[in-house]
Amino acid sequence: MTSPWIDDLAHPLVLASASPRRTWILSQLGIPHTVDPAHIDETSDISNPRDLVVDLALRKALEVSRRRPGELVLGSDTVVYLSGRVLGKPRDPEEARRMLSDLSGKEHTVWTGVHLAMDGRPMEGRAVPATVRFRSLSAREIHAYVDSGDPLDKAGAYGIQGAGMGLVDSIDGDFYSVAGLPVTATLELLCAWSVRPIQAKDPS
């Protein structure tokens, strides 16, 4: 499939993530890529969510790029930010239930960072926020969603796609950033590496 947005990358693209949502987004954009998940320690002393997701995305991209010479590596990371707290992936079902109870009926910010690397060198990165509001959830709903297993590998204990869409009242910002890969930011980063970036034609 040929992308209508980017015409041939100058280097093969590698997605440093096992997330099926991220590879699906790239595929829908028509951007050919391979998947090679990074395996890093995601603990960090960074408390600012914008800086945190960019740092984690960069560390993932660098880890994979060191073993993929000559290839362009895209790293990405997502966190949920609620009342001054960063919510990552829950450690167990009980923590998932606590996270969802805290999010119930409230607004929070989802931050997703994307970063490129090549040959073990950092390139450019971005961080994209989106504001999400949860509807008020009953204890039964929270338990049923956690019991489905869906929240356990996702930041903030939910995914915007699949059954998790039933948690959300509204989104202000890039839907795909909440899903794990902001479309505009990703295209802007990759266009710099395109042989011939697609440009709007002059109407004159």
- pLDDT tops 60 at residue 196: no
Q: 11-36: per-residue pLDDT in tens? A: 999 999 999 999 999 999 999 999 99
Fold for domain 6-197? Answer: Maf protein (3.90.950)
- Residues 53-70, mean pLDDT to the nearest whole number: 96
Of 99, 104, 101, 96, give the one whose Cα is nearest residue 85: 99
If one compares 199 and 92, the residue with the highest pLDDT of the two is 92
Sorted by where each begins, the domain ranges of the chain are 6-197
3-state class (DSSP) for residue 86: strand
**Residue 202: both structure tokens together:** 């002059």
Distance of CA 161 to the CA centre of its chain: 13
- The residues assigned a catalytic role are 77
Of 97, 104, 96, 74, give the one whose Cα is nearest residue 168: 104
Cα–Cα distances (Å) from 72 to 28, 30, 107, 169, in that order, read 19, 16, 36, 37
- Residues 54-76, mean pLDDT to the nearest whole number: 97
If one compares 88 and 168, the residue with the highest pLDDT of the two is 168
